[in-house]
Amino acid sequence: MQKIAVIGTGYVGLVSGTCFAEIGNRIICCDIDETKIASLRRGIVPIYEPGLKELIDKNTAAGRLLFTSDVGAAIEASDIVYIAVGTPMSETGEADMKYVKDVARKIGEHLNGYKIIVNKSTVPVGTGELVRQIVSNHRKYPSVHFDVVSNPEFLREGSAISDCMNMDRAVIGSSSDKASKAIADLHAPFGTRIYLTDLESAEMIKYAANAFLATKISFINAIANICERVGADVVQVSEGMGLDSRIGGKFLQAGIGYGGSCFPKDTFALAHIADQSGYDFELLKAVIRTNDKQRLIVTDKLKQAIGTIEGKRIAVLGLAFKPHTDDMRYAPSLTIVPEIVQLGASVSAFDPIATETAKPLLPESVRYCGTVEEALEGCDACVILTEWPEIVGMDLTRAKRLMNATVLIDGRNCISPLSVQQHGFTYHSVGRRPVNVVGSGLHTANF
């Protein structure tokens, strides 16, 4: 059993700390936000992640998981200290390192014995050395030694518990064999592949992996836009591409682009790192531009389907950037909903989890509904922005009765074209032929 402090109780820190406790370690999750710590002690989890609350409750009851706002005491009581604070995107696109630097100073001030300091936050290349310097400069006892490790996270929101408990690899970067072995041993109960490397390479692996996945998404979205122009079906195209073992089918689902806490921030950060190193990463910048433009196709399709948007009532189904999370960071809805409102429409929105998170971020005029049916009632068109099960599985017969006009804009390609055709909807998706579009000759499609 290892004694571990996890500094930062955001998404990464809370999930990682809880999973480390689940495999038998003593974890102190700490945060300077006393209100958040008080809530966690009462069993109130500040983020939505399936299975997380149950796992927190289990491990706090077992005494393996503790919460405190006394960061210094947590550091002193632990042998391994994980840095899991936020690195938000700054105005220039680079990662804001303020919180990482603050934690490094705090660790230095409370370094009372040998410790392994692990960067879990997504940080620019060179951060490991920066943390080493800050800790060294703030040590009370220069004779006390420590090592720094980079152990980036690869968690997907909505499936983070499974991703951590069944991780496909643990990347561990350090110049210390002793520290690398200790963190490798820590991960042994997960039964994962261990990849040992140097600090800088581990830091780059995280950015490179996210940037590559973002590139796949923007690429298939660009292909989808071409498919619409030439009459091809992007779903069939992506499936055919994915059969190639060199390509694979993951992250080749066309839609309205990526969002969330990782891809937007990390692509901008890597582009900034490249600029700072003297390399113009044109490919990655094109990925970012493609993603920004992609979400705008929703309103273009809406105009195409109903003409003037002003005065119309639009149902928006899904607000979070992806299903099974309440995360609204860089969600397409943050661009699309204000644009619909600005064009003069009224919006009735439904999201099963993210409503309260979304309210302060969207126009005040938005009406929030408790069910899909409530959002659809009396609307002139429906726009799908998140593929929640409640939305994918909605009753199209009932939806047709509730709506004023049967226009459906599917930004996630999550509804069957054959099904909407049979129900008489005018249907636009991404990279596929429209269905039942009056006057276009496209009353039917081949499926």
| Block residue for tokens 């049916």 | 373
How high is the pLDDT of residue 63?
96
Residue 29: predicted pLDDT:
97
DSSP string, 22-87: HTT-EEEEE-S-HHHHHHHHTT--SS--TTHHHHHHHHHHTTSEEEES-HHHHHHT-SEEEE----
Residue, of 93 and 44, whose pLDDT is higher? 44
- CB < 8 Å & 24+ apart, contacts of 245-254: 250/216, 251/213, 251/216, 251/217, 251/220, 252/216, 252/220, 253/220, 253/412, 253/413, 254/220, 254/221, 254/223, 254/224, 254/413, 254/430, 254/431
What local confidence, expressed as pLDDT, does residue 447 receive? Answer: 45
pLDDT digits (tens, 9 = 90+) for 185-221: 999 999 999 999 999 999 999 999 999 999 999 999 9
Q: In whole angstroms, give the CA distance from residue 291 to residue 262.
A: 14
Residues 6+ apart with CB under 8 A from 234: 220, 223, 224, 227, 254, 413, 430, 431, 432
Output the six-digit token pair for 105.
Answer: 């100073």
For residue 53, what are the CA distances in angstroms to 34, 49, 82, 408, 440?
19, 8, 21, 36, 51
- Give the pLDDT score at 263: 93
Six token digits for residue 194: 């261990």
- Which one, of 336, 343, 309, lies nearest residue 412 by Cα? 336
Q: What is the mean pLDDT of the chain?
A: 94
* Contact between residue 291 and residue 215 where contact means Cβ atoms under 8 Å apart: no
**Comparing C-alpha atoms, which of 387, 122, 158 is closest to residue 264?**
122
pLDDT value at position 70?
97
Q: Is 377 exposed, middle or buried (0-12, 13-18, 19+ CB in 10 A)?
A: middle
What is the structure's pLDDT at 88?
A: 85
pLDDT digits (tens, 9 = 90+) for 244-286: 999 999 999 999 999 998 899 999 999 999 999 999 999 999 9
Query: Three-state DSSP class for 95?
Result: strand
Whether residue 135 is predicted with pLDDT greater than 80 in this model: the reply is yes
- Count other C-beta atoms under 10 Å from residue 418's C-beta: 13
Residue 360: what residue type?
P
155 versus 369: the higher-pLDDT residue is 369
**Identical fold, 3-197 and 206-293:** no
pLDDT at residue 316 above 90? Answer: yes
Tell me how far apart the alpha carbons of residues 173 and 152 are, in angstroms, rounded to a whole number: 9
- Reading the block at residue 242, the tokens are 């994915």
Q: Over range 9-13, report the average pLDDT.
A: 92
Q: Which tokens sit at 39?
A: 């809530």
Annotation: CATH topology of 206-293: N-(1-d-carboxylethyl)-l-norvaline Dehydrogenase; domain 2 (1.10.1040)
Across 121-146, average pLDDT: 93
Q: Is the dihedral of CA 122, 124, 127, 128 positive or negative?
A: positive
8 A C-beta contact, residue 339 and residue 273: no
198 burial (CB, 10 Å; 0-12 / 13-18 / 19+) is middle
Q: Which helix (H) or strand (E) holds 185?
A: helix 177-187
Per DSSP, the residues of 137-160 read HT-S-TT--EEEEE----PPTTSH
* CATH code assigned to 295-428: 3.40.50.720
Q: How far apart are CA 23 and CA 309, in angstroms?
A: 54
Please report, in angstroms and rounded to a whole number, the separation of the first and last CA atoms in the chain.
56
Q: Using one digit for the tens of pLDDT, what is the confidence trace for 65-95?
A: 999 999 999 999 999 999 999 888 887 778 8
Domain spans in the chain, listed from the N-terminal domain onward: 3-197, 206-293, 295-428
Give the distance from CA 312 to its chain's centroid: 32
- What proportion of the chain, given as a percentage, has pLDDT over 70? 98
Residues recognised as catalytic: 262
**pLDDT for position 108:** 96
Q: What is the pLDDT of residue 438?
A: 58
CA-to-CA distance for 183 and 124, rounded, in angstroms? Answer: 21
What is the pLDDT averaged over residues 314-334?
96
- Is the pLDDT reported for residue 443 higher than 50? no
* pLDDT in the model for residue 293: 96
Percentage of the chain modeled with pLDDT above 90: 90
d(CA 347, CA 398): 20
Q: What is the bridge-based pairing of β-strands 146-150 and 115-119?
A: parallel
Does position 370 have pLDDT exceeding 70, yes or no? yes
- Residue 441 above 50 pLDDT? no
Q: What is the tens place of the pLDDT at every residue in 22-39?
A: 999 999 999 999 999 999
The CATH class given to the 3-197 domain equals alpha beta
The pLDDT tens digits of the residues spanning 93-133 come to: 788 899 999 999 999 999 999 999 999 988 989 999 999 99
